[in-house]
Amino acid sequence: MNDFLQKEEAVLRMIKTVFDPEIPVNIYDLGLIYKIDIEDTTCTIDMTLTAPSCPAADFLVEDVKMKVGSVEGIKEVVVNIVFEPEWNKDMMSEEAKLELGFL
């Protein structure tokens, strides 16, 4: 496997360890991650929140930065909070929907 794919896989693995403190599902399966770009040693992530006034926003951003920043070869993590498209329950993985009782 080439270096880029290994780095991408490691970043995704780390993102899946970030949980919203009020919801027992990781932010990836919740559908909050819209885009992950890795260029050289910088990882840029576009993510949203379940609600614009989410009280855990700062915690989630810092957790993503810390965990993704621990990936070998990543020196800078940029997290952009975006609200378009607006998040909805359809963006969740089947596993998340099952865990939260939506299936």
CATH classification of the domain holding 62: 3.30.300.130
Give pLDDT < 70 ranges for the chain: 1
Domain around 76: 3-88
- Residue 27 inside a domain? The answer is yes
Tell me if 61 is assigned to some domain: yes
Q: Looking at the 3D structure of the chain, how many domains does it have?
A: 1
Is 83 domain-assigned? Answer: yes
Q: Is residue 100 part of a domain?
A: no
Burial class from Cβ neighbours inside 10 Å (0-12, 13-18, 19+) for residue 11 reads: buried
- Residue 1: the pLDDT is 58
- Residue 71 in any domain: the answer is yes
pLDDT at 65: 98
Residue 98 lies in a domain: no
Q: Which amino acid is at 103?
A: L
Judge whether 13 lies within some domain. Answer: yes
Specify the pLDDT at position 21. 87
In a domain, 26, yes or no: yes
d(CA 66, CA 83): 22
Predicted pLDDT of residue 64: 98
